[in-house]
Chain A
């Protein structure tokens, strides 16, 4: 029992990171009905931005986090501006190919600058705590805490602010949005900024939790978070969070009871089963019934 409780802590940590990444897919899908296949690579870039900033300046954790989110966020918004916007009225498949292409460019750029995996420096000295037999580290608490704070903040932003309202309006009917005086492109840019910023934060946290980072680290994690977003219901913010945590839980618990080679087999079989019964995902709605 204690063993499972211990694993649950690991599951929450991993799930929180998946959820942060999944949010980026879902946000962008919400405003553009497009999958940003470069998102996994933005996650990777976030880890590298953290490495660069931390090795240049000895800044506190929070400051580095903000800088990583801003820089990754602006990179995401820049990609939208130069690569996706010109193709907005082009066939869907062109946008998909462009996104995949952007991801490959970023990944190869990073791997040419940093061909080998790099150790991630610890940003503070990690202490372990013992909670009634369960061990949890200050890093784990930080990762889980920061992720949850970001998710709650995002949920508030989307539900309560006028920018959030505009983002939801775009996901319902983007043609009408400019007729209310709302600058469509600006809202889309901000959406990318937020989505990529969360991805960057996830990259940084992931790099701190598994402190060896490489240019290829975004590929598999990116795909997994994408699947989590779809299972939760792509376009749904809460769905992305639910999907991320389910995926983290299933992965960690599978490894807890079975050989680790079964992890992905079990995890993805389960997710496929969920999709068979809930084709729009757990919290997703059929097109144009999004409420």
Chain B
């Protein structure tokens, strides 16, 4: 069974058609990346998958159609989304942000363990756990956004440009974390403008161009594809 099957997905904003009927499959346990330039429709695609936006077409998650399922219920199915811009609640403390990530869970001891694990994985967050999250740096906020999404124990994690606005060192850190999460069996759908990085860690990938998929392949294939190199890798 595939983690996600997307059939003829369309997203429109009024008359603007941002995603024009794309189809792709994400296999269980892989890192799938969707790369593309500004305005290609990457964020719109992820928002459709998590149910933030109305869309056309069909999304099958873990073998079942989820089109009629609201965004908050999709989280309960194990589909978590770290949105563009991170979506941290700046008025809440770091700890409160993490706790909200576990909203749907009833197993108190499991949640406490996961909180502890999250704070151990991200020592910077532990140092700042009682601080308002709005005072964190961009990199720390990104860590918090990922840690918070993990609190729901997702089976599939949608990540929207986790490297955005971060220094190269922090980008390396985030990507290391993404690989670790994947190594623990979480399927990853990664959206990036930073094609070089994303393709290096991706098992499979697709290129999105103004709302349509123009190329698909393994990460390595796209990395060496001359068209990708010319358009996205500055080669």
Contact = CB atoms under 8 A, between A and B. Distances in A.
A181 B69 CA distance: 12
B72 A171 contact: no
A162 B103 CA distance: 8
Interface string A249-285: 0000000000000000000000000000000000000
Contacts of A176: 83, 87, 89
For A176, A178, A180, A290, the residue with the greatest tally of chain B CB atoms inside 10 Å of its CB is A180
Contacts, number: 75
A291 interface: yes
B42 interface: no
Contact of A172 (B73, B90, B99, B152): B90
A291 B70 CA distance: 29
Given A162-B103, A166-B103, A291-B134, A181 B75 contact: yes
Contacts of A172: 89-92
Max chain B Cβ within 10 angstroms of own Cβ: one of A172, A175, A176, A289: A176
Given A168-B92, A291-B132, A162 B50 contact: no
Contacts of B89: 168-169, 172-173, 176
Interface in B151-169: 152
Given A165-B92, A171-B91, A291-B90, A179 B81 contact: yes
B203 interface: no
Contact of A290 (B75, B91, B96, B104): B91
B72 A178 contact: yes
A185 to B, nearest CB: 9
Contacts of B34: none
Contacts of B149: 179
A182 interface: yes
A168 B91 contact: yes
A183 interface: yes
A193 B126 CA distance: 36
Contact of B92 (A169, A175, A179): A169
A21 B151 CA distance: 37
Interface in A4-57: none
Interface in B66-102: 70-73, 75-76, 80-81, 83, 87, 89-92, 96, 99-101
A171 B80 CA distance: 21
Interface residues of A, number: 22
Nearest to A288: B90
A181 B152 contact: yes
Given A165-B99, A291-B132, A180 B90 contact: no
B231 interface: no
B99 A181 contact: no
Interface string A151-174: 000000000001001101101110
A183 to B, nearest CB: 5
A146 interface: no
Contacts of A289: 134
B71 A169 contact: no
Nearest to A175: B52
Interface of A: 162, 165-166, 168-169, 171-173, 175-184, 288-291
Given A179-B71, A179-B75, 17 more contacts: A162-B100, A165-B96, A165-B100, A168-B89, A169-B100, A172-B89, A175-B83, A176-B89, A178-B70, A179-B72, A179-B149, A182-B100, A182-B103, A183-B72, A290-B90, A291-B90, A291-B91
Task: Across the A-B interface, give the 9 residue pairs with the lowest CB-CB distance, nearest first.
Answer: A181-B75, A176-B87, A178-B71, A181-B104, A178-B72, A169-B89, A290-B91, A291-B132, A172-B89
23 contacts: A162-B100, A165-B96, A166-B103, A171-B91, A172-B91, A175-B52, A176-B87, A178-B51, A178-B52, A178-B70, A179-B80, A179-B87, A179-B149, A180-B100, A180-B101, A181-B103, A181-B152, A183-B72, A184-B72, A288-B90, A289-B134, A290-B90, A291-B132
